[in-house]
Amino acid sequence: MKKMILLSGLFWFCTLATYAQLYLGVKGGPNLSNLLIGSDQQVFANDFYQYKVGYQVGIIAQARFSEGFYIQPELLWVVKGSSVLTNAAINERENFNLSYISLPLIAVFRVGESLGITFGPELAYLASSRIGDQNLGNLLTFKDFDLSLDAGALLDLSNALFIDVRFSFGVFNIERFGLAGASGSTATRNASMQVSLGYMLSQD
């Protein structure tokens, strides 16, 4: 599965390089993530999941078709998840980390000399799931793949340096919790806000 994502990323890079000017760069920064629960059943207390800080880091490419439009494929290591309530009596929490190999494919529309509007899909492969130092692989079953829809804005600080602010919302249920005596199940989806500082290694 990891090879599939890597090969898909390489395919996109090569294909876009054929039809547009290709510029390579790197990016990284913090994200604020949570697990969103949607159901008519109350499984956990309202404060069971809370937002936590993670990060993302990786490489990007900008395939520029014109001055006002380009496609930005990325290959990232992204840590999402949530802050989980482990002891309600003393409000003790631990970070629940879902680490993904992520492949966003972002369209960028320039609305000014330094500002761009961004949106696109993000395919991700789950590399690990942990709460604190404990591996959750034997306790909870999470799906290997996730698909998110991303949207945000990109601000150029210089010819090479930029800030990328992005909201990411999971499309699919990544886990189902069984409920004794309940007719339905609970959908769990990723959600995050990402802030990255990027640097283009190749420029005009």
- Which one, of 35, 122, 130, lies nearest residue 72 by Cα? 122
Phi, psi of 46 (to 5 degrees): -60, -30
- Residue 106, CA atoms < 13 Å, CB-side half-sphere: 28
What is the pLDDT, as a whole number, of residue 178?
A: 43
What integer best gives the mean pLDDT of the chain?
Answer: 80
pLDDT digits (tens, 9 = 90+) for 156-197: 999 899 999 999 999 988 875 544 334 445 678 899 999 999
What is the pLDDT, as a whole number, of residue 179?
A: 40
Strand partners, 128: 99
| DSSP state for residue 128 in the 8-state scheme | E
Query: CA–CA separation, 203 vs 12, rounded Å?
Result: 20
Strand partners, 200: 25
| Residue 40, amino acid | D
| Residue 73, amino acid | P
| Residue 156, amino acid | D
pLDDT digits (tens, 9 = 90+) for 1-46: 555 555 555 555 565 555 557 889 999 999 999 888 765 444 455 5
Model confidence band, residue 67 (pLDDT cutoffs 50, 70, 90): confident
Q: How many CB atoms lie within 10 A of CB 104?
A: 24
| Residue 29, amino acid | G
**Token pair of 115, please?**
């500002």
Section 84-111 average pLDDT: 82
